[in-house]
Amino acid sequence: MSISTEEMKEVERAAEGLGLSSTMMMENAGRAVAQVVLERFSRGTSVGVVCGMGNNGGDGLAAARHLRLLGYDDVSLFIIGERRQLKTQNVRLMLSLYEKLAPVIWLPAPEIDLGRFSVILDSIFGTGMRGYVKEPHRSVIEAINRSSAYIIAVDVPSGVNSDDGTAADPSVVADLTVTFHRAKNGLLKNRLNVGILRVEEIGIPL
């Protein structure tokens, strides 16, 4: 059974009411993505993780940390924007935890080659993405799509509407999408951008 964006927000609020914090859900999401990578790729694989400012970016930050803890030494973490623009306390916490292990690269930055990675995690925009994709996000999404990497979208491919499946120009074209709790309605309507769809649990008992 699939779920709308608003229904998912209601489920998350209900889970918090039961004592499952949004921080724990983000942590579980990141761990789930890292486990999917571990299933498919050796620890010697080069992984680029590209994050936005919101909670989807926080999921990517958590995934990058778990990959390093799982023994992936060649992980590079990119964040589009500036530290002061991070949108929630959870995202700031995930950044702080990752920085205990390794530095991050803030985009836009000169001479960034996403083409060197075997795997790229797309964690730029999540279920809240609607409408036109502006710079510098446009250029980063285009660079992801130009790469020969295996692209894994975190929750929703960036640029895809999670309710109706419409894709902005540009939108990430993923090989695999790892979504959480239930498939979002739009993911079932746009297999071109979604690729293989995996639904992973993040501890929500509803």
Backbone angles phi, psi at 177, to 5 degrees: -120, 130
Residues in contact with 130: Cβ distance below 8 Å, sequence separation at least 6, in sequence order: 161
- Answer whether 64's CB lies under 8 Å from 89's CB: no
CA distance 30 to 81: 20
Q: What is the pLDDT of residues 23-44, one digit of tens each?
A: 999 999 999 999 999 999 999 9
pLDDT band of 108, cuts 50, 70, 90? confident
Neighbour order of strands in the sheet with 105-107: 105-107, 75-80, 47-51, 119-123, 150-154, 176-180, 196-200
Report which of 103, 106, 158 is spatially closest to residue 132, judged by C-alpha positions: 158
Distance of CA 166 to the CA centre of its chain: 18
Q: What pLDDT, on a 0 to 100 scale, did the predictor assign at position 50?
A: 98
Q: What is the pLDDT of residues 67-93, one digit of tens each?
A: 999 999 999 999 999 999 999 999 999
According to CATH, what is the number of the domain 5-200? 3.40.50.10260
Quick check: pTM over 0.95?
yes
Instruction: Strands of 32-169 (E only): list them.
Output: 47-51, 75-80, 105-107, 119-123, 150-154
> Is the sign of the CA dihedral 170, 173, 178, 179 positive or negative?
positive
CA distance 187 to 193: 8
Report which of 204, 206, 182, 161 is spatially closest to residue 27, judged by C-alpha positions: 204
What is the arithmetic mean of pLDDT over 139-146?
95
Q: What pLDDT, on a 0 to 100 scale, did the predictor assign at position 1?
A: 86
Q: Considering the chain, what percentage of its residues have pLDDT values greater than 70? A: 99
Token pair, residue 41, equals 């790729």
Q: What pLDDT, on a 0 to 100 scale, did the predictor assign at position 112?
A: 74
Q: What pLDDT, on a 0 to 100 scale, did the predictor assign at position 128?
A: 82
Q: How many CB atoms lie within 10 A of CB 126?
A: 24
Q: Is the pLDDT of residue 111 over 80?
A: no
Domain ranges for the chain, please list them. Answer: 5-200
Q: Is the pLDDT of residue 110 over 70?
A: no
